[in-house]
Amino acid sequence: MRVLVTGAKGQLGTEVCAAYADVELFAVDIDRVDLRDAQAVRALIVDEVKPDLVVNTAAAHNVPECEKDPATAFAVNATAVRAMAMACQACGARLVHIGTDYVFGYGATRPYVESDLPAPLNVYAASKLAGEHLLAAECGNHVILRTAALYGHSPCVAKGGKNFVQLMLDLAATRPEVRVVTDEITTPTYTRALAAQLRLVAEKGESGLYHATCNGECSWHEFARAIFDETNTPANLLEASSKDFPSPVKRPDYSVLRNKHLQDQGLDIMPHWRDALQDYVRAERTS
């Protein structure tokens, strides 16, 4: 099997490449091809690699920057995805694309399933939703995996190189108190677990839209407490509200996803978020 991974140097892309280490793997990033160049994308996929599977983990996902520069956000998250989908359709490759929980809006009280109506609140979310629609229109053999709150072992460049776990540990070590919001609920998702899930659904799943996060839900404050507990880190953790950290960018207050499509096919292998955190901490200690 020939697999092409885009965004291969990113936090998730690195884990996806590791998950496909036993196949003929082609790993590319922005230094290899600019996905906004439709001709370059087609040449890479159709003429050069001729893959059986393309996994697109590349995205413009710095939410504030997307708000400032909508043109770039839509170019990377929508138009480039369309070009990739067209190229995959042309050469018969399956396309797996990463979506986001941010396509949903305010007011939810239970986890979203794939059939729930999106209501994006910001440019990033709107551009990612547009990419989903363009992909589905251009490539029949596709898998869209919406996920949430990723953290992993490789640096997240868009967020200064630190994931949330690393940020909390750094704040605990350098500040007398750490304040984290209690009113934003999500599901932290470990990239290594997601990469394993991605490979399974890419090989076994029917085409279509999937939610793929760790199971369970928590506030960012609850996640921070779990991080300090699992790492035996002393920290003065205080509760805060999103109003304490005003932002010009609207974000969903509840964006928990249920992996219903995976569950319906018997393919959901995602761990509970607390178990995944334990796996991450163990891996960090042995690395």
Residue 30, classed as helix, strand or coil, is coil
**Among candidates 163, 269, 265, which has minimal Cα distance to 212?**
269
Return the amino acid letter for 280: Y
Relative to beta strand 178-181, strand 150-151 is unpaired
Residue 211, classed as helix, strand or coil, is strand
Instruction: Tell me how many helices (H) and strands (E) the chain has.
Output: 11, 12
Residue 210 designated active-site:
no
Beta bridge partners of 208: 143
**Residues 96 and 195 sit within 8 Å (Cβ to Cβ):** no
Tokens of 47: 């003429």
Q: Which of 20, 102, 112, 124 is catalytic?
A: 124
d(CA 57, CA 10): 8
Tokens of 67: 């708000």
Beta bridge partners of 28: 6
Query: What distance lies between CA 144 and its chain's CA centroid?
Result: 11
Q: Any idea what the Cα angle at residue 13 is, between residues 190 and 205, rounded to 5°?
A: 75
d(CA 17, CA 4): 9
**Residues 263 and 201 sit within 8 Å (Cβ to Cβ):** no
Positions annotated as catalytic residues are 124
